[in-house]
Amino acid sequence: MKVGNFVSDVSNSVKALTKDDRISGRYIHSLAKDYTSYILAMRPLRDAMRDSTIFTEIPCVEMQRVRSDKCDIAEFRKCDKIMRSKCKLPSVYNSSMGAVIISVTNITGETEFEQLRTPSDYKQQQRRKFAKTSKYYYISNGYLYVLGSESERITVTGLFQDEREALTFSSCSDQTNQECLSAYDYELIVPDKYISTIKDQVIEHIVKTYRSIPEDENSNLDSNQKTNQQNYG
C-alpha cells in the first residue's frame, strides 16, 4: 500500500467521525510508523520476515576508516580494521532481536558480514580457539560499523521505517528520479497482515486527540492554513 492511499483512507475516516479536515499527511504517516514500531517489537520477527516487499535495499553506504584506539566502542579496539558509515543510517524498525537488517554486504555482494547482537559478541568470537575468521557488522547510535574489512562502500538491506528516506540515502547512485517523487508515492513500510490494525489504531488515536481538544480551538485555522498543514512532500 502506498503512503498516499493509507493517508487518504485515514483522513476520510477521521473526517467522517469528527468533521475535521486539518490532519496532515505527515502526522498520519508518523503515527503509522510509531504503531508499527510498537507492534513489531511485541511480535515474533518471523511475522515481518514473511513479507519481503517491505524490505528496502540501500545500494551504497559510504564508509570511513576508524582508528582502532579511537573507536568509541571499547570492545572493538583490538580489531585491526574498523570502518564506520559517514552518516547515520535511516531509521530501522526493531524486533526483540534488535534492528531488523536482512543483509550487509560489500557493494559487489561477494562478501557478506555477520551481525553482532552486542559488542561483547565480538570479544567472545575472538576468544574461540578454532573460530573462523569472519567479518562482522554492528549498528550503534544509528551508525553502521564493519569489522575486519576496509570496504569503502557497503550495501544494506533492512526494514527501514521510511522507504523514501532509505532510497534517497544511497551515496553512490543517481537519486534524481527518487527525489522528484512525492512522499505519497512510496510504499508504506508495514507488513500486510498489520495494515488494517495500524489503520484502526491511527484513526482511534486521532479521534481521541480531537475529542480532547476544547471546541473553540478547532476553528482557529483558515482554509489557507489548512491547505498548508496538509501538504506533504
Share of the chain above pLDDT 90, in %: 48
Share of the chain above pLDDT 70, in %: 82
Identify the weakest region by mean pLDDT among 74-83, 107-116, 121-130, 199-208: 121-130
**Nine cell digits for residue 170:** 544511497
Distances in whole angstroms, Cα of residue 127 to Cα of each of 108, 118, 136, 137, 158? 30, 15, 15, 18, 30
Residues in the chain: 233
Distance (Å, rounded) from C-alpha 26 to C-alpha 183? 9
Helical axes 25-42 vs 195-211, angle rounded to 10° = 120
Check residue 134 and give its pLDDT: 76
- When pLDDT is cut at 50, 70 and 90, the band that residue 85 belongs to is very high
Residue-wise over 72-105: b if at least 16 C-beta within 10 A, else e?
ebebbeebeebbbbeeebbebbebeeebbbeebb
Distance (Å, rounded) from C-alpha 147 to C-alpha 130? 19
* pTM (whole model) above 0.95: no
pLDDT at residue 45 tops 80 = no
